Amino acid sequence: MGFIYKFICVISGFITIASTATVDLRCSNFDVTRLSEISYQCGKELTCFFENVHADNETQFVYAADRYVLSYKCLGFVNSTIDQLPVDLFRRYANVEILYAANLGLKSVSRSLFESAGKLVDLHLEGNNITELENFLFYGALNLRRVILSNNKITSIGKDAFKKMTVKPVTLYDNTFQQKLEEIDLANNKLTDIHHDVFVQLNSLIILNLQRNNIRLKYGQFPLTLKRLDLSYNQLKDFTMKQLLSSQLLEELKLNGNFFENAKAEFIFPEAIFQLMHVYRFELSDCFNCMELADILIHFKRINRNIIVQFDNERMNSSNIFGISCVDANDMNQN
């Protein structure tokens, strides 16, 4: 699997031996159908998966000779632990469209990794130990459409983390922002404050998952193109739909797990907002006491009979109205 290079140095009369571990990267016969989240995308493409790779920041990666190196569209690491991916990965596998690097224990991702990732479409980095997304991180990934970063330890995102930068501008009028990015998943991280410009500049973003963080919501933070937004379990206590006014194409909004202090229907869901926006599907479990939830549902029926409030099947045994979980006011007073 690997071997050791040894370098002998003489310093002040003493002989020291420095060792650098190397790992031989060779495609395995891994069955891609075991990875349900990418099996559909990779199932019809030529794939290359590396198994049982264990490397730290000092490890050197050596690529095995492979005549199919330019034919692989799907590339990944499984059953492995790696501190950081090899920065020349996309220079070696230049036509890869899907990278699966989930659950590896990655501590960081180098900006240099994506400089040659012009064909990359789908990026899986979930389940790692990444703490920061630096500015221009995805430099060169011009065709990136989906980034999965859930279940990391991300506390900060540079305001230009998703900004598109090309090595050589195509024209003088080339838009400097990512034009194809449609989905970002940042669920289960440690985000609190997100710079206003991080998402608003993404003029093709359709799906954004911020579930289970501790987000402080800002007005005008999301782009016009957004259609599905998950803000569940973020402790949003003073939420109002006015905060999402800039996303007038929004269709689905998940707010469950945020217990609102001001639960007045007209404050959270102003009637005028529905004349400007397209939201028709909500998830509201655990947001209200049951009396307040009843008022919200009546409010929805009065202003728009086509609004759908999702059932929460996992909470069907709790206090609920039509399957939407709520907290009984008497139970709240006892607590």
Q: How confident is the model over 182-195, as pLDDT tens digits?
A: 999 999 999 999 99
Summarised one tens digit per residue, pLDDT across range 15-38 is: 444 456 899 999 999 999 888 888
End-to-end CA distance of the chain: 58
Count the domains in the chain. 1
What CATH number is associated with residue 128? 3.80.10.10
- What does the angle CA 230 – CA 231 – CA 235 come to, to the nearest 5 degrees? 160
- The model's confidence at residue 171, banded by pLDDT at 50, 70 and 90, is low
The answer to whether the CB of 259 falls within 8 A of the CB of 237 is: yes
The answer to whether the CB of 146 falls within 8 A of the CB of 122 is: yes
Residue 1 maps to a domain: no
Q: Is 50 helix (H, G, I), strand (E, B) or coil?
A: strand
Residue 10 maps to a domain: no
Q: Is 50 exceeded by the pLDDT of residue 71?
A: yes
Residue 220 maps to a domain: yes
Residue 259 maps to a domain: yes
Residue 18 maps to a domain: no
> For residues 298 and 301, what is the distance between their CA atoms, to the nearest angstrom?
5
Summarised one tens digit per residue, pLDDT across range 98-139 is: 999 999 999 999 999 999 999 999 999 999 999 999 999 998
Question: Whose CA is closest to 106, among 70, 88, 80?
Answer: 80
Residues 6+ apart with CB under 8 A from 216: 192, 193, 194
- The model's confidence at residue 334, banded by pLDDT at 50, 70 and 90, is low
Give, as one character, the DSSP assignment of residue 319.
S
- Which pLDDT score, from 0 to 100, does residue 20 have? 66
Q: Which domain covers residue 330, as residue numbers? A: 26-334
Task: Label residue 103 exposed, middle or buried (CB < 10 Å: 0-12, 13-18, 19+).
Answer: middle
The answer to whether the CB of 80 falls within 8 A of the CB of 106 is: no
Residue 17 maps to a domain: no
Q: Is 11 or 68 the better-scoring residue by pLDDT?
A: 68
- Beta carbons within 10 angstroms of residue 307's beta carbon: 16
Residue 4 maps to a domain: no
- The model's confidence at residue 172, banded by pLDDT at 50, 70 and 90, is low
Residue 67 maps to a domain: yes
> For residues 295 and 13, what is the distance between their CA atoms, to the nearest angstrom?
83
> For residues 271 and 274, what is the distance between their CA atoms, to the nearest angstrom?
6
Q: Backbone phi, then psi, for 294, in 5-degree steps? A: -60, -40
Mean pLDDT of the chain: 87
